[in-house]
Amino acid sequence: MHVFPQDTDIVPSVNFHELRRDDVWFDDGNLILQTDDALFRVYSGLLAARSSVFKDMLAFPPPPEGNLTHDNCPVVRIYDSTKDVHFFLNAIFNSDNHSTIGIDLSHAPGILNLLPLRQNSSLWQECFV
């Protein structure tokens, strides 16, 4: 997953209600992830526990200025496809989503791109074995 600091691509006037993905939007979440055309509100602690990349990123405090927030949540821009990020987050936050139904092979390229975010192979084993 490609995570970069906030930049001018993120416009503060983003219509959050139109872009939010309700299936990965937790009203009490404390971090919003933004792709090109979607927003996901998640729990940073659980995300950090399941992804060493996010753990490292979240270990550092955000710069004091210039960061977009919504409802007191920091917004982090992610440059991977919405489809790949959506599948990755569903695998983390909706655990029964992948363990009982298997995986559609159309998701395989996205999973392979995002697997480095998980330093264990449980997602791989649950989806493909």
Closest CA to 94 of 116, 126, 128: 126
Beta-strand (E) ranges in 2-127? Answer: 20-25, 31-34, 39-42, 69-70, 73-77
Q: What is the pLDDT along the chain (129 residues), one digit of tens a residue?
A: 444 444 434 445 557 778 888 999 999 999 999 999 999 999 999 999 988 888 998 898 877 777 888 888 888 988 999 999 998 898 888 866 544 445 555 655 665 565 555 444 455 455 544
What CATH architecture is 16-128? 2-Layer Sandwich (3.30)
Q: 0.85 cut: is pTM over it?
A: no
Q: How do the domains of the chain map onto residue ranges?
A: 16-128
Residues 6+ apart with CB under 8 A from 57: 3, 76
CA distance 110 to 122: 16
